[in-house]
Amino acid sequence: MNRMLNAEEAKLAELAAAEFEQPETFGSGVGRIDRQHLRIVEALLFAASEPVDESSLARVLPPNTDIAAVLAVLKDEYSARGVNLVQVAGKWQFRTAGDLAFLLRKESIQQHKLSRAAIETLAIIAYHQPTTRAEIEDIRGVMVSKGTLDALLETGWIRIRGRRRTPGRPVTYGTTDAFLAHFGLEQIGDLPGLEDLKAAGFLDSVAPSGFSIPQPSDTPAPDEDPYDDEDPGTDSTESGSE
């Protein structure tokens, strides 16, 4: 997407500047929005195959354009349409309206068919990140195989993010922007909490005493160092069960 913007941004900026001479605007005061700016951002987002960040969009508009206001207006305009403008992983993308998703479903083999062990491991990583393999095994109560972690790494939904400052310096795992985009999350903190899971029927209405769900976060841990591939220590290539 960035390559397309670099190739076309001069032409789009020229177009935006020409329209800026006598813009078609609406709103008043500092809230006035140039209709041509909306059209340019709309076109870029429509053509993009992946979510686009605000800085990339702002580069093709005149300086000092309030890109946040432009996106807010576009989001509002598309809120009742068949496609909506949504923010995922801090970026923007057009997506089919949630209530119409059933129209586009196809009976086909999923590209990433995960085992139950992989799904459970992914959930633990998402909610407990940064987490090590030993910590995942402690929560699940069974060993985690190399194949399970490799399958999740292959999907692009998890990554090796660092090393724990403990003996053996085991690697830590966390989720990726691809994980957020796939599940329609703006940030990892948007994962459903205890009450959300109860309401969806995934948990009993009365949870066991002491049961809780951690508040997910992808901020660096105080006992975690950045990952260095050459740093000796435990890694994900170890073998194991399930």
Higher pLDDT, 19 or 12: 12
19 band by pLDDT with thresholds 50, 70 and 90: very low
Q: Which tokens is 1 given? A: 């997407």
Give the fold, CATH level 3, of 116-226.
Arc Repressor Mutant, subunit A (1.10.10)
For 113-127, write each residue's pLDDT tens digit. 788 899 999 999 999
For 57-107, write each residue's pLDDT tens digit. 888 888 888 899 999 999 999 988 888 998 888 889 898 887 777 776 654
Which long-range contacts link 139-146 to residues 24+ away (Cβ below 8 Å)?
Answer: 142/117, 142/241, 142/242, 143/240, 143/241, 143/242, 144/117, 144/240, 144/242, 145/117, 145/239, 145/240, 145/241, 145/242, 146/236, 146/237, 146/238, 146/239, 146/240
- Would 2-99 and 116-226 be classified into the same CATH topology? yes
Indicate the CATH number of 2-99 among 3.20.20.60, 1.10.10.10, 2.102.10.10, 3.40.190.10.
Answer: 1.10.10.10
Q: What is the mean pLDDT of the chain?
A: 78
pLDDT for the residue numbered 205: 65
pLDDT for the residue numbered 110: 47
Going by the DSSP 8-state scheme, the letter that residue 102 receives in this structure is G
Q: Which residue has 């948990």 as its token pair? A: 203
Average pLDDT for 144-161: 92
What is the rounded CA–CA span in Å between residue 110 and residue 101? 16
Going by the DSSP 8-state scheme, the letter that residue 222 receives in this structure is T
179 CB neighbour count, 10 Å cutoff: 22
176 band by pLDDT with thresholds 50, 70 and 90: very high
Tell me the whole-structure pTM to 2 decimals.
Answer: 0.56
Q: Where are the domains of the chain?
A: 2-99, 116-226
Higher pLDDT, 233 or 223: 223
Average pLDDT for 135-149: 91
pLDDT for 16 beyond 70: no
Q: Any alpha helices (H) in 29-81, and if so which ranges?
A: 35-47, 54-58, 67-77
What whole-number percentage of the chain has pLDDT above 70? Answer: 73
DSSP 5-21: HHHHHHHHHHHHHHHHH
- Ranges of beta strands (E only) in the chain are 25-26, 33-34, 83-88, 91-96, 131-132, 158-164, 171-175, 224-226
Contacts of 117 (CB under 8 A, 6+ apart): 140, 142, 144, 145, 148, 242
What is the rounded CA–CA span in Å between residue 156 and residue 91? 17
